[in-house]
């Protein structure tokens, strides 16, 4: 039976593959037949993810994506070592909740560098003839509902994710000539370790109040991974420059 979401034989680079949405995306892609290159800072946790994947030609690579100038040569090296890429999922990122008065300029710069500039550098590397597979490919960035709505204490995080949404549109227009589709997924609150750390100092009633802003409740990593896989596979061959909001109804209010 034909599987319209098959990724059989495709090679996909997934950043942030050591946990959360990145890990779940890698697992799903392997189940759909893709060969996955996992990237992250923690080699032990990356190898734990490798063990969760379906059998395939999978690899783990440690990298610090805050070193923006090193990203392009690093991706070129991956292509030489493992083969050209058909897909890119940029799930790695950082989140900080700080009011304007206590947010240092250096902290703001770090958010933009890790969340936004790294995405630009990865896209730049992906389009290179030495990296991109002969059939073209697809890029999926992880944005956030915070790039679409405002929230106190989220100004620079929102800016970094809003930049992803805006960049997706322009890159989609520029890279269409290279047969590259560019889209992003914008989730709200998802049950990951990052969310657990965020809620660590909150009272139960505070957490319950946040959950009430999500009509369908908090999401699970697989909810977002499903959307990412859809945007990578041929099901979405007529979709580019779009933001797929996966937020349990958070931004519909």
Strand partners of residue 179: none
Among 18, 116, 148, 157, the one annotated catalytic: 157
Residue 250 is among the residues annotated as catalytic for this protein = no
Contacting residues for 90 by C-beta, under 8 A, at least 6 apart? 15, 16, 118, 119, 122, 139, 140, 141, 142
Q: Where are the alpha helices (DSSP H) in 176-243?
A: 193-199, 204-212, 221-232
* Phi-psi sector, 98: left (phi>0), alpha (psi -120 to 50), beta: beta
Q: How far apart are CA 133 and CA 74, in angstroms?
A: 17
Residues labelled as active-site residues: 157
């Amino acid at each position: 039976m034909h599987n319209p979401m098959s990724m059989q034989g495709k090679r996909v680079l997934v950043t942030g593959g050591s946990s959360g949405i990145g890990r779940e995306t890698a697992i799903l892609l392997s189940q759909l037949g893709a060969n996955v290159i996992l990237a992250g800072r923690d080699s032990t946790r990356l190898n734990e993810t490798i063990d969760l994947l379906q059998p395939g030609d999978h690899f783990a690579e440690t990298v610090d994506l805050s070193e923006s100038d090193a990203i392009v040569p690093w991706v070129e090296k991956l292509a030489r070592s493992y083969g050209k890429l058909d897909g890119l999922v940029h799930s790695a990122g950082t989140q900080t909740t700080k009011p304007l008065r206590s947010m240092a300029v250096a902290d703001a710069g770090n958010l933009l560098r890790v969340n936004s500039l790294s995405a630009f550098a990865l896209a730049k590397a992906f389009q290179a003839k030495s990296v991109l597979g002969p059939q073209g490919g697809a890029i999926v960035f992880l944005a956030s509902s915070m790039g679409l709505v405002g929230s106190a204490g989220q100004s620079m995080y929102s800016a970094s994710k809003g930049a992803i949404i805006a960049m997706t549109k322009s890159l989609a227009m520029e890279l269409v000539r290279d047969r590259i589709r560019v889209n992003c997924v914008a989730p709200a609150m998802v049950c990951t370790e990052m969310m657990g750390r965020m809620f660590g100092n909150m009272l139960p009633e505070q957490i319950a109040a946040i959950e009430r802003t999500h009509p369908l409740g908090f999401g699970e990593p697989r909810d977002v991974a499903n959307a990412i896989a859809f945007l990578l596979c041929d099901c979405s061959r007529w979709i580019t420059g779009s933001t797929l909001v996966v937020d349990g109804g958070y931004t519909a209010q």
